[in-house]
Amino acid sequence: MKIPWRGVAVVVVLGCCAFSVFGVAACVAMDQPGSAIHDNTLLSLPILWQELSKVSFGTVATWFAQVGSLWPLILLSVELVLAAMALTLAVRPEILSGPWQTAIVAGLGLALGLLSVSGLFGLLHLAFTFLNAFAWRGLDGEWISELGPVYDAIGINYVISCLLFWHTPSFRPAEETAL
């Protein structure tokens, strides 16, 4: 049975996008008065679910307007660009083999290069998330306040984008012909 790797990549990318939305909603819930999510308290799924159920789209929009920092928007923009690149390469890999191949490859390479700092930082953050969750004391509210889920999703989407970019048909070595 052959595994459809591009389909798996699409599911993982969409899952990372949902995880980013979860992270932003949890950060908004943490900033609400009377929230049970605090910097030094350990997180549990019932607490997160209870607090996230109180967050509406209007609350998120108000939070973005009041934050006063562009950092959450920049992180979500990086996540969106990486997700769009990965989905494009997973669904339509032939985009790199058309008449605009050189320009598209150069543009994607430049975009991945510019996003590499965010992607590598996301991978480093993902490693610390796993250490905190499984080896140390557990995830706490500080992970939410630092937008940890968004960083983790950026790291995963960066790896998927790079792998899909590398395994497109235009990068496959040409078959050698026997003389």
- pLDDT tens-digit map of 93-152: 777 666 666 666 667 777 777 677 777 888 888 888 888 878 887 788 888 888 888 889
Using the predicted structure, report yes or no on whether residue 172 has a pLDDT greater than 70.
Answer: no
Tell me the C-alpha to C-alpha distance, in Å, between residue 80 and each of 35, 48, 54, 163: 28, 24, 25, 17
Task: Identify the pLDDT of residue 99.
Answer: 67
Q: Which DSSP state fits 170? A: G
What is this structure's pTM? 0.81
Residue 165 scores a pLDDT above 50: yes
| Whole-number pLDDT of residue 169 | 62
For residue 170, what pLDDT is reported? 58
What's the pLDDT tens digit per position in 34-70? Answer: 888 877 778 888 888 888 888 888 888 888 877 666 7
CB 119 within 8 A of CB 151: no
Q: Whole-angstrom Cα distance, residue 86 to residue 114?
A: 15
Distances (CA, A) of 31 to 1, 70, 78: 48, 17, 23
What whole-number distance in Å separates Cα of residue 163 and Cα of residue 9?
A: 10
Amino acid 1: pLDDT: 65
